[in-house]
Structure 1
Amino acid sequence: MKERRLLLATSAGLLIIVFLRVALEKSFRRSPPPAVLKSAVENPTLKESCFDYVNFTAENVCCKMRKYTAGDVLRCVEGFSAEQRLQRKKAANIFRANSTTLPAVTHIALVGDSHMRNLFVSVVERIGIEKLQVRRKSVQNTWGDAKKVLKTMHLQTFIDTTEVRHMSAPFRVTWYRDWKLDGFPELIHRWETNQELRPSLVITGAAHHWMRKHPPRTGKPFRDFLTTLAPHLSRLASSVPIYFKLMDIVPTSYTEVKQYPDFNPQAIALYNSIAVQQLQETGTVFWDSTLRLSIAYTEECVRSNRITPATNEWNCGDPGHIGYIMLDQYADMIYNAFCNRFLNLTDDYCDTGR
């Protein structure tokens, strides 16, 4: 009897050990992504809550993302142009006059600093570069081949406002150089008065230069500036979608804390929260699905200082920016958010209706 009790006790102990081991193993595994319905999240393509991040890749768990090709972009342009023609016809019928409030081409405008410039390159390259022409603000009326200029911008040494057009499709992309967005109100005025080609989509966001030039830890100068910018964004957002990209974590914020003591992940989080607080009533869409990707990129740069010179996929030698391994995913997020509704995709894809 005594031996039997000992055997039972031993067996029970082994079962407990096995149970605990299984429980611990489960606790260390990656938990499955949450089941989130697309309909439950507004703008699922641009929201961090809709993505599962694995190493250096973001996978949407709310809906399907499409990997955009040049052909997809051209189909989007055709669809957008058809929509604009229909809206213009309706406006003409109502007001018995031609409407000039809508752009004749698909025009993606990126407004901001060098981070917007690099994103501009990824957005442009998605349509291919064989049929693209480019012009710079310094030589306004001169269109030239885009290959050399895009390569120069890829190397992050180009600082002029730059416009690209497709030679056989009504498609343009413009990067407006504006380090702190303090020229943005005037640009909006030029759009409103048809002095500049009106945008179909605006992508913006700039706080890095505010943090470096005006470093008080409260972020008050940035907060005050956004208060003055908000009414202009409200006017613009009433007719054009605006994606306000929150600030990425960059390697500088990890590696140069002594030189820039107020430029760190905590400060970046503060400035992002300020942007959301000050602009949440303007109708802009806040884009934060890139932030976890930027953290993964930054941490890898700190570990290995990876560099791929031919493509700049990894460019850890430039600690102030994110490499194109991430920027190309950012471009896909933009195209999915803006273009999916024009591609006749099934309903399980992101942003297929408005």
Structure 2
Amino acid sequence: MIPKKDIVNCKWKPALMAGVWITSCLLLLFLYCLPFHYQQSPFATALSSGTQHPVFSHECYRNSATKIQNNCCRLHKYSLADIVTCSEGFANSSAISTPGNGRRYPGMNNERDWKTEGLHWVLVGDSRMRQLFTDLAARLSPARALYRVMDLKSGKWKPSKNLLPLLLGETGPLHSNAEVYLPDAPLRITFYWDPVLEYLPGLLRGWGDTAPLPSILVVNSGLHWIVESAEAFATGGRGVAAAPFSRAISRLVPELDRLSADTPVVFQLIDHVQESRNTAKLQQVQSNINIDYYNDILTKAVAGTNITLWSSTVCLSDLYIQECTENPYLHDSQKLWMCQDGVHVGYVMVIHYVRMLLNFVCNRVLGLGRGFC
């Protein structure tokens, strides 16, 4: 047992028994069962411009001694109907912008893009980004959603009726691109498997040229860079090991910033890991101190740009890790808790990550009013 403590301004006393009671529930049912409470705060208009947004800032998740709570603004709990309404709203809106910056995003409301593509969310990154896509795909599954997976060797999309089991790793991890499409909205969400962001530059060049702009781009990277740098870390230290990552991000950020003039771009920081489950080879390089070093590189790289930094998941991952430290065998078939997985948080936390994302994209469209994020 480790003492409860304030971790990066986040405090949590998780309702552990509630998590155990619902392990027999389906993931979709759980989305609407979790009894977390959100409270309105006088800071509802804070941190709403530039690279800061109250949904994504770790500064807004503090003083929450018993619940996960955003103290800057209210988070709406999205139903499937809300997501459909959000998607339809973009078709009828003449000016969609993120809160506080007053800019229009053609990728979100361009009439040509809507008729040919609908609302198109793009998620690019590693297995943690795949978890966000998995939760979104699960939310859409009751609405006659269509799924497909790309054969990376041929570059061709193939229909998939069993995408969710693939995403949940029931037959091994899915290291491929995947997509879910909801014709009735219409809404398309694409996940690109790109853990070191080697394919993202090509996507950026194509958007607006040969392909319509995405409605929103969410990116993460870092953990694979860290693992692959183990030898360089052992021989040259942290700075030498992280240098290739730093150079790659420095080249990528200007391209992302250019896209952000037309489409919201969100860069998610690297969640912490359960260090006790690291292999001997990764004990030092995959430490949370080293992860913070990479997160610092990302934070400095996007400073002064229009890229939105998503930092709140780091402190929430600490809260999840703390519970797993005290209950190391906490695990269930629905993967709400995955304490034996040292790298990924369980879906009990991923649900909250996706809730943040939905609030960022859809709150203005739903017209929820003052106080909401």
Of 316, 321, 324, the residue aligned with 1:298 is 321
Is the 2:45–2:73 contact (alpha carbons within 8 Å) kept by the matching residues of 1?
no
Name the CA distance, whole Å, in 1 between partners of 2:216 and 2:271. Answer: 21
Relative to structure 1, the CA distance from residue 34 to residue 65 in structure 2 (aligned partners, 3 Å threshold; closer, same or farther) is closer
TM-score w.r.t. length of structure 1? 0.79
Is 1:204 the counterpart of 2:219? The answer is: yes
Mapping for residues 210-225 of structure 1, pairs under 5 Å: 210-215=225-230, 216=233, 217-218=238-239, 219-225=242-248
Q: Which residue does the alignment assign to 1:153?
A: 167
Q: Which runs of 5+ in 2 are unaligned?
A: 1-10, 13-38, 98-109
Q: Which residue does the alignment assign to 2:144?
A: 131
**2:198 corresponds to which letter in structure 1?**
D
Name the CA distance, whole Å, in 1 between partners of 2:224 and 2:300. Answer: 19
Per-residue CA deviations over 1:80-110 (Å, capped at 9, x if unaligned) read: 12126999xxxxxxxxxx9756774111111
Is the 1:121–1:154 contact (alpha carbons within 8 Å) kept by the matching residues of 2?
yes
Q: Which residue does the alignment assign to 1:192?
A: 208
Identical positions, percent: 28
Is 1:338 the counterpart of 2:354? The answer is: no
Relative to structure 1, the CA distance from residue 180 to residue 349 in structure 2 (aligned partners, 3 Å threshold; closer, same or farther) is same
Per-residue CA deviations over 1:108-130 (Å, capped at 9, x if unaligned) read: 11101111111111122233444
Is the 1:71–1:127 contact (alpha carbons within 8 Å) kept by the matching residues of 2?
no
Q: CA deviation at 1:40?
A: 2.4
Of 43, 56, 63, the residue aligned with 1:46 is 56
Name the CA distance, whole Å, in 1 between partners of 2:248 and 2:163. Answer: 33
Name the CA distance, whole Å, in 2 between partners of 1:233 and 1:248. Answer: 21
More helix by share: 1
Local SS of the residue matching 1:243:
strand
Q: Which residue does the alignment assign to 1:173?
A: 189
Is the 1:56–1:293 contact (alpha carbons within 8 Å) kept by the matching residues of 2?
no
Is 1:77 the counterpart of 2:90? The answer is: no
Mapping for residues 194-343 of structure 1, pairs under 5 Å: 194-195=210-211, 198-215=213-230, 216=233, 217-218=238-239, 219-251=242-274, 253-256=275-278, 258-260=280-282, 261-343=284-366
Name the CA distance, whole Å, in 1 between partners of 2:65 and 2:142. Answer: 30
Q: Which residue does the alignment assign to 2:24?
A: none
Rg larger in structure: 1
Name the CA distance, whole Å, in 2 between partners of 1:51 and 1:113. Answer: 25
Local SS of the residue matching 2:342:
coil
**1:293 corresponds to which letter in structure 2?**
L
Is the 1:55–1:296 contact (alpha carbons within 8 Å) kept by the matching residues of 2?
no
Per-residue CA deviations over 1:271-303 (Å, capped at 9, x if unaligned) read: 101001112233210011111210111122232
Relative to structure 1, the CA distance from residue 202 to residue 86 in structure 2 (aligned partners, 3 Å threshold; closer, same or farther) is closer
Is the 2:143–2:182 contact (alpha carbons within 8 Å) kept by the matching residues of 1?
no
Q: Which runs of 5+ in 1 are unaligned?
A: 1-28, 88-97
Q: CA deviation at 1:36?
A: 5.0
Name the CA distance, whole Å, in 1 between partners of 2:76 and 2:40. Answer: 20
Question: Over aligned residues, Cα RMSD in angstroms?
Answer: 2.7
Is the 2:267–2:309 contact (alpha carbons within 8 Å) kept by the matching residues of 1?
yes
Is the 2:41–2:371 contact (alpha carbons within 8 Å) kept by the matching residues of 1?
no
Q: CA deviation at 1:226?
A: 0.9
Per-residue CA deviations over 1:37-59 (Å, capped at 9, x if unaligned) read: 12222211111111236579521
Name the CA distance, whole Å, in 2 between partners of 1:256 and 1:67. Answer: 35
Q: Which residue does the alignment assign to 2:105?
A: none
Is the 2:268–2:310 contact (alpha carbons within 8 Å) kept by the matching residues of 1?
yes
